[in-house]
Amino acid sequence: MVRSTSALLAVSVCLTSVALGAHLHGRDINEPLLESYDYIVVGCGISGLVVSNRLSEIASRTVLCIEAGDADHYEAIIQDPVYVGADIGGIYDWDLETVPQTQLDGNTRPMPQGKVLGGGSILNAMCWNRGGSDDFDAWEAFGNPGWGWAGILPYFMKSETYTPVYSDEIAEEYSIHYNPAVHGTSGPVQVSYPKYFYPQSINLFAGMNLLGLPTQFDPNDGTSAGPAFVPTDLDPNNQTRSDARRTYFDPYVSRSNFHVITGQHVTRVLIEGTGGNGEVDNPTSGGNDNGNGPASGNNDGFGFGPDGSTPPLSGQTPPRFARRQDPGTSNLRISGVEFATNASALRQTVYATREVIVAAGALHSAQLLQLSGIGPESLLNQYNITVALNLPGVGNNLQDHPLVGTFYPWADNNASYPSPTELTTNATYNLQAEQEYDTDKTGPWTAGSPNGLAFNPLPLISNNSASILSNASNQNPTDYLVAGLDPTIIAGFTAQKQSLVTRLAENTVAAYEIINNNAGSLTVSVMHPFSRGTCYIQSADPFQPPAIDPRWLTNPVDRQILIEALLFNRQILAAPPMVELQAAQFVPPVDADEDALDQVINNGIRTEFHPSGTLAMLPLDQGGVVDSHLLVWV
Ligand SMILES: Cc1cc2nc3c(=O)[nH]c(=O)nc-3n(C[C@H](O)[C@H](O)[C@H](O)COP(=O)(O)OP(=O)(O)OC[C@H]3O[C@@H](n4cnc5c(N)ncnc54)[C@H](O)[C@@H]3O)c2cc1C
Ligand SMILES: *[C@@H]1O[C@H](CO)[C@@H](O)[C@H](O)[C@H]1NC(C)=O
Ligand SMILES: *[C@@H]1O[C@H](CO)[C@@H](O)[C@H](O)[C@H]1NC(C)=O
Ligand SMILES: *[C@@H]1O[C@H](CO)[C@@H](O)[C@H](O)[C@H]1NC(C)=O
Ligand SMILES: *[C@@H]1O[C@H](CO)[C@@H](O)[C@H](O)[C@H]1NC(C)=O
Ligand SMILES: *[C@@H]1O[C@H](CO)[C@@H](O)[C@H](O)[C@H]1NC(C)=O
Ligand SMILES: *[C@@H]1O[C@H](CO)[C@@H](O)[C@H](O)[C@H]1NC(C)=O
Ligand SMILES: *[C@@H]1O[C@H](CO)[C@@H](O)[C@H](O)[C@H]1NC(C)=O
């Protein structure tokens, strides 16, 4: 379900800075903040917890992670895989929505995002699936040394303890193979497979194999084309979710230098200094109730290069933001953050002696920088926000995976093909399954994640692929972008578009994903979108959500890919192994013409929950926000 495919996303941003905090466990959550912290991390989701955990490995460093959501209470709805998806829209969701999507049916759409210690890893579908090597190699080619597949793989491996599927027979039937050279055996996240398998994946894979799409050997080895049964972030022994909180935080609560506070919303980062192209912010002007001024800077420029190392310091003065070729006269620095429990609560401030690391997800990180005076000048002016740094890229280049649901219910009267639907329609069956889970940690309750997937390349599923890509190539880059974008952003999209056209022509690069939920749905979603959206503040109030406009399918290439995907679904359903399932074609109907498919798409598009790209790791003259050390460009 995953694949961080879009070449240019930067979900976390490092800003240099300075000192202080609150906490859970190691220190009590209600204890006063420390005098100062070396590092402050905003957002304790997947990125934020990994970064704060790694930084606090060195006992002499103090690290504070600040999370807007609460800590979960080990509820079954989070931990038991059968409930995957059930907590969307619940108490751990920000409940965001998009602006009306006029290019579709004019309606808004939900945009679920985790608001909880552990972020998206608490809400997500648990599919543990690395992007294709070409995605990372493209990042590197865009001026980011070390971010290619070879540079990233050791960190993927370091994160996981991989346990192969428990049965050789299942491994053969479902083609679940693995290459030990790309898997970790001692990392924090437990990666494994359920103890129950719906046989529909066998039919689906066999059908696609007949149509010329071989099953991937190991979907985490850098290949990204074709069907695959992907592993999950699942503890192999007790079959529970192995999320960021339980892997990067809970086992480390006794680290007294690692502090986490929850239920605290960061309202802005505090900026001091002058230069760049903006003005100065007074770090003590913002309702500071703890009286701590910024600690004196002892900035070591730690910036999490992809190799986890400190970026090279070419001079004596450590970088506070990233430096331009021409460093100019800027001495802007981030000194801390301001936060509050809620809109009416007193704002507090806390300072960092070294860095503030923004890891609030693609949407809220963009919002936070904008609120703080870092972003497109015209946008900030609209809300009377003092411009510290005019950085046009912040909140632009938004990419998401648009997904269309389908409904092809299989015959439900065939005992050879059990369906997860039975868990909701047959109370006796569900009770048996629950008991089996409780006592043996086996059975259908272990198999909630929809992990029989396919990532199909365009040339292998459509005879129109050359024509679609040549049309994409011939587009003027501004044809489908928001009007009036800064020229640097247009330059960045121009480069991305060329990269996409070249890569999508390959038989090894995924154009779209199929998710099989074993209950008659084969959703299709665009994996390398050409459409670009925006995430802009719509108020100077940090407690108002940003305006999220994914602009799904505004570029017609994305729509053409979905049409080809829906047509190819018909070929899959007509392949003999799938005919056995006796599927009806309800959505879209079997005879839907292209107009009817358009309607299904316009009504059906939803997010696949993967917003990215709003703080692009790109050169400044291509709309970049951060450099390859994730330091904000000045
Ligand atoms: C429903 C769903 C299903 C998904 N399925 C999968 C899947 O199967 N496999 C997969 O790999 N990926 C999946 N994803 C995507 C994956 O979860 C995300 O890519 C990932 O969580 C992003 O990590 P992050 O650290 O950038 O952001 P997040 O994990 O979202 O963390 C950001 C954190 O920052 C906090 N925050 C935001 N603003 C503030 C603020 N102002 N102050 C303080 N804290 C703040 C948030 O509350 C959140 O905890 C799914 C996502 C969702 C929502
Ligand atoms: C599952 O097992 C892990 C150890 O592998 C443990 O940390 C965790 O608490 C267990 N979870 C449940 C719900 O039993
Ligand atoms: C806001 O936070 C304050 C301080 O924590 C608390 O007393 C108050 O009840 C909260 N208000 C709301 C509406 O939650
Ligand atoms: C910005 O400031 C101007 C001048 O004080 C005021 O007229 C305008 O209403 C303000 N705009 C916002 C969005 O607050
Ligand atoms: C419900 O499940 C039970 C237990 O598996 C099974 O015996 C029964 O036939 C099922 N009922 C229906 C209507 O399918
Ligand atoms: C391409 O066209 C040929 C000839 O009409 C047809 O046999 C084949 O199935 C088509 N391929 C796809 C992927 O649709
Ligand atoms: C490519 O563009 C041409 C001209 O607009 C159009 O006729 C053709 O249908 C497009 N090709 C595809 C595959 O959409
Ligand atoms: C159930 O599926 C099996 C395997 O495809 C098939 O042989 C059998 O005829 C089907 N039974 C019914 C009742 O459709």
Question: Is any atom of ligand 7 closer than 6 Å to the C-beta of 471?
Answer: yes
Span 593-606, average pLDDT: 97
Ligand 8 center to 582 CA (angstroms): 9
Ligand 5 center to 414 CA (angstroms): 12
Q: What value does the mean pLDDT of the chain take?
A: 88
Instruction: Answer positive or negative: Cα dihedral of 312, 317, 319, 322.
Output: negative
pLDDT of residue 455: 98
Which of 134, 143, 145 has the alpha carbon at shortest distance from 3? 134
CA angle (408, 411, 417) in 5-degree steps: 105
Dig out the tokens for 390 from the structure.
């005019």
Span 165-175, average pLDDT: 97
Which ligand 5 atom minimizes the distance to the CA of 426?
Answer: 1
Q: Determine whether the annotation assigns residue 266 to a binding site.
A: yes
- What is the per-residue pLDDT across 18-52, written as a single tens digit (0 to 9) for each? 222 334 445 555 567 887 899 999 999 999 999 99
Q: Is residue 341 part of a domain?
A: yes
Mutate to test the pocket of ligand 8, among 198, 202, 204, 416 (most ligand atoms within 8 A of CB): 416
Span 100-123, average pLDDT: 98
Q: Is residue 27 part of a domain?
A: yes
Q: What span, in angstroms and rounded, lies between the C-alpha atoms of 302 and 227?
A: 40
Question: Is any atom of ligand 7 closer than 6 Å to the C-beta of 560?
Answer: yes
Residue 221 contacts residue 444 (beta carbons within 8 Å): no
- What is the per-residue pLDDT across 391-418, written as a single tens digit (0 to 9) for each? 999 999 999 999 999 999 987 667 888 9
From the CA of 561, the nearest ligand is 7
Residue 307 sits in a domain whose CATH number is 3.50.50.60
Long-range contacts of 314-323 (CB under 8 A, 24+ apart): 318/16, 319/16, 319/631, 320/16, 320/17, 320/273, 321/15, 321/16, 321/276, 321/389, 321/631, 321/632, 321/633, 321/634, 322/626, 322/627, 322/629, 322/631, 322/632, 322/633, 322/634, 323/634
Ligand 5 center to 79 CA (angstroms): 27
Task: Give residue 234's Cα distance to chain centre.
Answer: 18
Question: Is any atom of ligand 8 closer than 6 Å to the C-beta of 412?
Answer: no
Q: Is residue 316 part of a domain?
A: yes
Q: What Cα–Cα distance (Å) separates residue 264 from each residue in 32, 73, 538, 549, 610?
A: 14, 18, 21, 26, 24
How confident is residue 297, by pLDDT bands cut at 50, 70 and 90? very low
**Domain that residue 355 falls in:** 9-71+250-395+618-622
Question: Is any atom of ligand 3 closer than 6 Å to the C-beta of 30?
Answer: no
Q: Is residue 552 part of a domain?
A: no
Give percent above pLDDT 70 in the chain.
86
Question: Is any atom of ligand 5 closer than 6 Å to the C-beta of 435?
Answer: no
Question: Is any atom of ligand 1 closer than 6 Å to the C-beta of 113?
Answer: yes
322: pLDDT strictly greater than 70? no
Span 159-167, average pLDDT: 97
Q: Is residue 329 part of a domain?
A: yes
320: pLDDT strictly greater than 80? no
Residue 496 contacts residue 512 (beta carbons within 8 Å): no
- What is the per-residue pLDDT across 445-478, written as a single tens digit (0 to 9) for each? 999 999 999 999 999 999 999 999 999 999 999 9
Q: Is residue 353 part of a domain?
A: yes
Q: What span, in angstroms and rounded, lies between the C-alpha atoms of 64 and 337?
A: 11
- What is the per-residue pLDDT across 211-257, written as a single tens digit (0 to 9) for each? 999 999 999 999 989 999 999 999 999 999 999 999 999 999 999 99
pLDDT of residue 25: 45
Q: Is residue 373 part of a domain?
A: yes
Per the structure, how many domains does the chain have? 1
Q: What span, in angstroms and rounded, lies between the C-alpha atoms of 105 and 89?
A: 22
Q: Is residue 554 part of a domain?
A: no
pLDDT of residue 33: 85
Q: pTM here? A: 0.91
319: pLDDT strictly greater than 80? no
Question: Is any atom of ligand 1 closer than 6 Å to the C-beta of 448?
Answer: no
Q: What span, in angstroms and rounded, lies between the C-alpha atoms of 606 and 105?
A: 12
